[in-house]
Structure formats: C-alpha cells, structure tokens
Amino acid sequence: MAENSVDFQGVLAEIQDEIDPFFGQGKNAGYIPALSDVPGDKFGMAVHTVEGEEFLIGDAQDDFSIQSISKLFTLMQVLGFDDIDIWSRVGREPSGTAFNSLVQLEYEKGIPRNPFINAGAIVVTDILASRSADASRRIGDYYRMLSGNLSNRVDEEVALSEQDHGYRNAALANLMRSFDNIQTPIPDLLDIYFRQCALTTSCADLAKAALPLACGGYSPIAQKQVLSTRDTKRINALLLTCGLYDAVGSFAYKVGLPAKSGVGGGIVAVLPNKFSVAVWSPELDSYGNSLVGSKALELFTTKTDLSIF
Ligand code: DON
C-alpha cells in the first residue's frame, strides 16, 4: 500500500477489532502494586504523522504510567547536553537479559549494557541529577515540552508504590556505586528515577513526544530542534536493538520499528520521516512488554506495509 493512500483511522479500527482474542493472555505488572489494579482490558492507540495529522482509537487519551518509556526521554535530554560523554559509563549493546537483571552487571564491572535496561537508565538519570538541583522537575518539564500537555505529572501513588518495592533497583544502583559508576546519593537518585517512571501520559501525548525521532530531532510540538540529526539516528538504532529488552529480536522481526516499552503497558514506536505511533494495554508478556500492544503494532505494520525494513 502506498504510504500516502494509507487510511490510518481505518487501520486502527481494524486492529481494535482483531486484538480482542489477545486480552487475558498477559498479566499486569505485579511487582509495582499500584499498577496491578489498572483494568487489563484497556486499549488505546495513537498515530501522529510528520505532516501533523493525528489518528486515535479506543483509550488513546486515557492516562497511564509511562514507566520505562521515560528512559527514552531522559536519554534524549542528556544527549542534548553538548559536553557529555555518557558512553564511557553505559554500553550500546543488547543485553539479552531481563530489564532488571543483576547478573551481567557484576561481571561487566558495573557498566550497564545499554541505556534502556534499568541499570543503564539509572546511570543516565544519575548524569542528569549531577547537573541539576531539581532533576525530577527538569525531567517532567522536558516531557511536558515534548508532549505539549502540562497535565503529564508524577502519579505520587505509583512513585511511592515502586519506592516501597524497589529492592532490585536499589541493588542495581548500589552495585554500580561499588564500581564508581554512580555519583548521586542512592536514595536521592532512586527517588528521581521512580518519579520519572511514575509520570502519567496517554497514547496521544506519547506519539507527540516521540515525534522528534521521526523528524530528524525537530519537535513539531515544541517547535524547536531538541536533538541533532546524528543523535536522532543513534537513538533510533538503540531503540531497535535494545528498546524491548530480551524480546527485541522478535519485536524487530514482527513489527520492524524502533520502539520503547514500559511495564505500565505502553509502547511507543517511530518510522523516521513518516510517523510515531503509541499503544497502551496493561497486560504484559513474560518479558514485561505489553502483549496486546505488541500484537497491535505487528498488525499495524503488516496492514500498512510501513516499517523500516
Ligand atoms: O524500574 C522499574 O522496574 C520500572 N519503574 C520500570 C520498568 C519497565 O517499565 C520495564 N519495561 N518494560
């Protein structure tokens, strides 16, 4: 199908019908109790083209917890600082392990494999925190600038819920500190990290916020260049190879778009120079990615014949 003849709204409606059998096969994130109560049958999807058209379906305007998708935006923010070399502290390779695994980090001497697993994201947040007295607000401001929605705020209940159960993230941060790869005091750092993960957003907001990755680093919402074209290319490459953790190979095979997932059930993906697309459905597969959301994106690229491949 030629791209300019794609009926995006029609495709979204078909997907909404066809994903029905996949509900009930996954499970909400249980390790953050505040996320386990979200109704599992929620489903929303939003497409935003680089020309400025928006297409929404289902619960596309409902708020949900951004979780690990926030890691994409803190990375964009840190790469926006000219004078920072983050790559001596974080790698650029797929991990092949779970997003919150401790195993690799010990034998790789506290250098996380990539910025999207939890350990890598904690280092990126540490870099941001070491340059800002109020990193939490700065992270929120940056996201609100990209989404254009001032009501994207920290859900305090989710932040607290994760704080109360964040033993693994505390272990990752402490392990990295023992290798001198963390500078911020750990309780402060974890607080900032949990708060970035607890930002609320919707599919419509997310599709807008990710647009710079489809527009060579330019945000049509903020109406400014937020990334260089070179960093935009690099982030898209990292999303393709690391954005869905140890499911990244299957996701590239089935969907074929650079993407980032979160345990709130959101996934955002981009096709450079064409569109961004966001989906939300809270039930997760065994890798911690939205099961219905992954299926919806597979249907989307199959039906439109639009992917990077
Ligand atoms: O740190 C955590 O475990 C969560 N706040 C975020 C994890 C996450 O979203 C993984 N993504 N699928």
Q: Which of 118, 189, 287 to mutate to test the pocket of ligand 1 (most atoms within 8 A of CB)?
A: 118
Atom number in ligand 1 closest to CA 194: 5
- Residue 239's Cα: distance from chain center in Å? 9
Centre of ligand 1 to C-alpha 3, Å, is 34
Centre of ligand 1 to C-alpha 51, Å, is 32
Domains and CATH numbers, the chain: 3-304 (3.40.710.10)
Atom number in ligand 1 closest to CA 169: 1
Centre of ligand 1 to C-alpha 27, Å, is 14
The catalytic residue positions are 68, 71, 193, 245, 263
Around ligand 1, the residues with Cβ closer than 6 Å are 67-68, 99-100, 118, 162, 169, 197, 261-263, 288-289
Centre of ligand 1 to C-alpha 207, Å, is 19
Distance from C-alpha of 63 to C-alpha of 150, rounded to nearest angstrom: 13
Residue 114 gets the label, from left (phi > 0), alpha (psi -120 to 50) or beta, of: beta
pLDDT at 81: 84
Residue closest by Cα to atom 1 of ligand 1:
118
Q: What is the mean pLDDT of the chain?
A: 96
Rg (CA), the chain: 18
Residue closest by Cα to atom 11 of ligand 1:
262
pLDDT at 2: 44
Centre of ligand 1 to C-alpha 194, Å, is 9
Distance from C-alpha of 132 to C-alpha of 83, rounded to nearest angstrom: 15
Residue closest by Cα to atom 12 of ligand 1:
262
User: Which segments within the chain are labelled E, that is strand?
Assistant: 44-49, 54-58, 64-65, 200-201, 218-219, 224-225, 259-261, 266-271, 275-280
φ/ψ of 45, rounded to 5, equals -150, 140
pLDDT digits over 118-159, tens only? Answer: 999 999 999 999 999 999 999 999 999 999 999 999 999 999
Atom number in ligand 1 closest to CA 31: 3
Token readout for 38 is: 């979200």
pLDDT at 5: 80
- Residue 203's Cα: distance from chain center in Å? 12
pLDDT at 4: 58
Specify the pTM: 0.97
Mean pLDDT by 10 residues, the chain (309 residues): 76 98 96 93 98 98 98 96 88 94 95 98 97 95 98 96 95 98 98 98 98 98 96 97 95 98 98 98 97 98 98
